[in-house]
Each structure stands twice: as C-alpha cells, then as structure tokens.
Structure 1
Amino acid sequence: MTSTSTPSGQTAGLRSAYFVSDSTGITAETLGSALLANFPGIRFERHTIPFVDTAAGAQNVVADIERSARDAAPPLVFVTVKSTELLAILSRSTAVIIDLLGGHLRELEAALGSTASEQLGQFHAVGDITRYFARMRAVEYAIEHDDGQSMRALDIADVIIVAPSRCGKTPTTMYLALQYGLLVANYPLTDDDYPSDGLPATVASHADKCFGLTTTPLRLSQVRHERRPNSTYASLAQCTLELRRAEDLYRRNRVPFLNSSTKSVEEMSAVIMQSMRLRS
C-alpha cells in the first residue's frame, strides 16, 4: 500500500472514512469531507452509507466497518444519525465515531496523530487529484452517453439509467458523475422499445447495470408541456401509457426503479448507489 507523509512528518497509509446517515448522506459526506480536507497529507478511502434508519441497518454498517478495520488503522465514521439507539449500535464498532453534531477538529487530530492544517479553504481545493480526474472522466462519459447518443463502452459503465423522456435521467446521471466519479450512461425508452417483453437490444446485455426511473403521469405531462406545449408527447394519455409500459418493463426484467416525482437529484442518486451497491 502506498504511503504519504503527513504535515507533522508522520507516515500514513490509506485510511477508511465512512459517512453514515439516516437520510441521503449528503450532509454527512459534505461536513465530513470539510473536516478531512484539513489533513491534506493523509489519503482516505471514502464510503457513503445512506438511509441507516433501523437497528438492522446500523448492525450491517458495523459489520462492514469491522471488515475494513482488519489489519488497518481504525476507520473514521462521520455520523448524522438522530436516533440514540442507532448511535449506540454504531459506537460498538472499533472505529472512531465522530458525531457531526458534536465532532470537531481536535478529535480528528487525536485519531490521526496529526495537526490540522491552518490553511483556509481546503474543502474547496482540488484535494485528491486522482479523484478529481476520475470525476472529470466520468462527466465526459456522461455527456457522451446522454440520452442514448452513444453505445460505446457500455461494458465499463457503473450504471445505466433507463426511463421515458423527461423523468430525470440527465440530471441524475450528471450528479452521479460529478459528485461521485461514477461512469453513468442513460437510455431513453421510446415506443420502438416496447414490441418485445425484454429490455431494448442496446442495453439488454447489460441488464445487471440498469436502473429505471418513473414519475407520475401528471408530473410528466407538466414537464413535457414546458418543452412541447399542447403536443401528443405531453398529453396526459401519452404520459400515462409510457409510464405504465416502462414500469411493466422494469418488473418483467427485474430492473430496480424509483419514482422521481417527489425526490431531489441527491435523493435519487443516493437510492441508486445503495440499490446498485455502488461506491464512490
């Protein structure tokens, strides 16, 4: 394992950092990353685990943490979980638990054996150059593969988002690419894709990477009317038909899917990452 020198002259390897939340994990990851940015000489392997809102979920997190802790320094776990019961379960691990309601840099200094950098604005710096270039590559991939424009290199995609037009494919694709560096393609379902029971031929061989989006007919009609007012494309009848066909297609082919009508792009991304077991 490659090691790097810390600002205090000590040597540190790759340290596991978990961001655990009873919601999307965005707050835990943002605040935790802001704290970690004060230790630019230490490299971190990051894991975001959202929607830990049950005892069983918390116990699974502890098991995951314990596996990563073998023969390595104790992982750091940044927590935004409100339940005292769940916090107590998470605290049973051998990790360093940092409750972000009360966590501060002194705890990190003690855990890492390093003095926090006094340089301002670390969180907004490029930071880990490898992660930065991975995100840029992912954005380029997302642009090339947006709305089925290219089917090249689908074998290396982390996930392929499948949905009727205007269900939120593009913003979700771009968020996953820019925020997490994931290679994401998206494919629009059209009338031509429904004669058979299987997935469209373009993505059928990558069914294990597919994730579907749907919405409500009324919401889809409203969004489409903004693009093409008073068109058949935007009619409530057409939207109802397309969504019913899409959901039937997902179910027949065991493609996981979610309704995007009441969810933010952050929430949808978190659900996709959890469902597809993707890591940033």
Structure 2
Amino acid sequence: MRPQTPSTHHRGLDAMETFKWDDLRIVLAIARHGSATQAARALGMTQATISRRLQSLEEELGLALFVRTPEGMLPTELAQTLLPRAEQMQQAALAVSAAVHEFAEAPRGLVRLAIPEDTAALHALPHLPTLLARHPDLQIDLHTGTATSDLTRMEADLAIRLVRPTRGDLRVQALQTTRFAVYGAAAYLDGRDTTDLTKLDWIDWSEDLAHIPDARWRRDHLPQVAPRLQSNSMRIRRDAVLLQMGVAVLPSVHARIWPELVEVPHDLPPLPEVTLWLVGHARTRYTPRVNAVWDFILSQELGQHEG
C-alpha cells in the first residue's frame, strides 16, 4: 500500500465518518477467522468478493487493516481499535433483525382501545370473542368514558371518536355513519301532543358534552327547553327514555334494537348524521397487535355505513 499522504489521510477520515455495517462485518469476519477464505465461507460470499471489498475499503481509508502473513491475516492497530465497535454494531444489527422478526410474527400483547361506552357495549363487545379466538396472544383493554384519550401521548393505541381529529401524527379511517332522530318510548308518547317538541320532557347530554353534533342540534333549535335529566352516558339517556322519562336524540340503530322506541316527527331541520372515526398513532398503527384490531374493526358492522 502506498505511503500515507495528507490528502489520503483526509480521505480516510471522511470514509471513517461514513462506515457501513457491510464493510465492518467483513473486517470482523476476517479478524475472527484469520483469512479471507474462512471469512467468505462464514458470510456466504466468495473469497474474491471478500478480498476485493477489503482492498477497496483499505484504499478508501488510505490505511491498512490487516497484515498478510504466512500464518494468516493479522489485524493492524487500526483494525483492533475498530473491532469492539464492529462487535457492537453486529449486536445492534442482530437486535434489529430480531425486532423485525418479532414484528412479523402473530399479533401478541395488549391493545388499548378508547371507545364510547355505548359503542363498546353494542358494537365492540359482541364481536370480541371472535377476535380473541383468532389471536390467542392478544389482549384488549376497552377504555370507555367521555374523556378523549390523547393518542399522541400514547394514552391509547386506538380510539373510536365522534369527531375527526385534525392534529397529531395520526392515521384516520371513517367508520359507520349513523342517522340520529328524536325518540321516545311508545308508552310515554301515547296521548301526548308531539307537534310541539318544547312540551315534551327532554333527556339531554351533560353540559360538558354540548359540543357533540346531536347535543348542538337540540341547543340550536330548541334553546328554550330545560332538560329534565342530563347525563354524560348514552346508555343512561337511552335507558331513561325506555323508562318513559321523556324524549332524547338517539342513534336510529337503537330503535332497531329496542322496538319500543318511537321516532318523534318534527318540522325542524334534520339532525346531522354522525360518522365514527377509527384513529391510531402513526408510530404503532402497523404493528401486528394494533393492525389486527384495526382490520377487525373495519371488517365488522362499525366498518360499514349504516343502511
């Protein structure tokens, strides 16, 4: 090898800043096995390829990495300095490989799904036995309630929301679009004048949920109504209607499940349709465990538009 010059040395420093694992693993293999032939066999390459790659690397560095002797190839001081770092890189590469392998395996682990309570009870829970039977190593945590879990802070893996999020590195998929209407129990409505909605007893959302579409509709078009009962639970509101306590804005799917619920006609502007949104964080959206739940939700009734 030609003597080191200042320009060659500078080129060597630049090369060292961009060392590739493919180069270092060749250095590591030669040091471990003592010859290019044995290193080639260990790496599944040809001896010619190993020799050519080593020569190219030494020329790029402007420094020798091995001394060729009759007893084999002996690492220079530079190579001996690099070997511990090369071994660290090898361990890191093996860890990455293991992580990729684990990623490609069957779904396993816990998936936290933030979901409205009523949606969980009516649309998620009945199908969970199928999902869990399909993926025996999967666990589900249904986090219900009115508080919005912050996916950007990883408070949940997936969420089903009434309003499409617009901030954060999130993946979003539209689910079922649901029609809403004013409903009362048949026994409650019997004999009552339903032409004036202000004369009926109203069961509404709590004030802290006044922002959701069906709550806004009542406040916009019937602001003079003072609700007799308010709750932050869809289930409580529906059960109150079934107990003949008054009327409420409910999803039309409820009338299919509970036929005693009767739609109350009116001349007010129509209630908005509400689309549910499936939301996941970009960082974990395609992990096997989260992807299994995501795809399963889309395959069920929630993933279909209401007919």
Q: Which TM-score bucket, shorter chain as reference? A: under 0.3
Report 1 or 2 for greater relative contact order, CA contacts < 8 Å, sequence distance ≥ 6. 2
TM-score (norm 1): 0.22
Pair member with larger Rg: 2
